[in-house]
Amino acid sequence: MDFGLTEEQRLWQKTVHDFVAAEVQPRAQETDETGEFHWPAVRKMGPLGLLGLNIPEAYGGAGVDAISAAIAIEELGWACGSTALAVAAHNGLGTTPLVLYGSEALKRKWLPLVASGKGKLGALALTEPGAGSDLQGIQTRAVKDGNEWVLNGAKMWCTNALIAEYIITLVRTDGAGGSRSLSMILVPTDTPGLKIGPPEKKMGLKGSPTSAVTYDNVRVPLDNLVGEEGRGLQQTLATLDGGRISIGAISLGLARAAFESAVDYAKQRHAFGAPIASFQAIQWMLADAATEMAAARYLLYYAAWRKEQGLPYTQEAAMAKLFASEMGERVCRNAMQVFGGYGYSRAYPVERMYRDARLMTIGEGTSEIQRMVIARHVLRER
């Protein structure tokens, strides 16, 4: 199925696939086992455009369309969940707020560096120990002191913090509370008072560092405000819409890799005198996987198309993320089932893929949050 892709998009897909097959996939198991970020491959992604998917060419990025961005992230997910998550978080969360809302000075200072592969990546800090899905519960504060912001507080589950040039931080700038009390502020990671914790010990995605971050009288210029003061919540929600397409794309990539492994194994493995691919129980799992992956891709491409056209896509992104992430977990689970006992062993990659896929129903809005978003739109429309 070509899903109506243009010739340029198909060429882009092949280019990215060939790159990740050569540079990323061979190290996926090692990346998982060591927990080391795969810098050698990521450095090479800059010239290819993979570190500037959403960044205009004027700032050193590739500026590809939204469907092409989803294609790239899917291919990365196919190759290595850890690397895919870090690159997706960099593009979707670490650079998008700057592209959409940053001042010209901030864009010119930071975007060429993080898009090139010569510097580190971008990161976005939202979640706190007492505020996850409820962003209005954020307590990290920033107050003005002369020509500087002074930040104090703590964040957690910050993807890329340890490998970032800067962390765009959602903070409370107005003590009165409400939707106009939050703002985004860019904090370079070498700023005094900023402390980034060690990588969290996670079930999967071990090569994508996730850390707690603390702000102890961290001072940055007032000009480091990203967008409008008091519009941080609205900017964050808009950023997350695009990020959800990326999470869905990673899920699809992981599912595709697990599915391909399961198909190959089912043809090779014999039981009761025949390849297990000849058994209906196996065939049905593979048929369900193929069908669900196709449905997920249509949902993702439709959400990406609406984004590219400048149309509202919050509901569509939530639907795509919900379905693709839950589909990814099912497909990876059933791929393990096809492998039987071997699927539970690290001798085969489906075990790693299943662990990696598990996060996708949690990160960037849980499945429950996606259902709330969808329900609100459905009820409003009626």
Q: Report the catalytic residues.
A: 364
Contact predicate 144/153, CB 8 Å: no
Contacts of 365 (CB under 8 A, 6+ apart): 133, 240, 244, 318, 321, 373
Which residue, 84, 85, 98, is CA-closest to 55?
98
Under DSSP, the state recorded for 92 is I
Distance between CA atoms of residues 274 and 139, nearest Å: 61
Pairwise CA distance, residues 189 & 377, whole Å: 38
* Encoded amino acid at 182, one letter: L
Query: Rounded to 5, what percent of the chain is helix, strand, coil?
Result: 60, 15, 25
- Please state, in angstroms and rounded to a whole number, the distance separating the CA atoms of residues 314 and 381: 13
Amino acid making up residue 198: P
Beta bridge partners of 182: 172
For tokens 């931080």, name the residue.
169
Report how far apart, in Å, the C-alpha atoms of 170 and of each of 128, 222, 286 are. Answer: 10, 15, 43
Phi, psi of 228 (to 5 degrees): -90, 140
Among 100, 149, 160, residue whose Cα is nearest residue 126: 160
Overall size of the chain counted in residues = 382
Cα–Cα nearest to 84, from 55, 127, 53, 116: 53
Burial of 281 (0-12, 13-18, 19+ CB in 10 A): exposed
- Strand (E) or helix (H) holding 381: helix 367-381
d(CA 91, CA 314): 18
Read off the tokens for 201.
């010990």
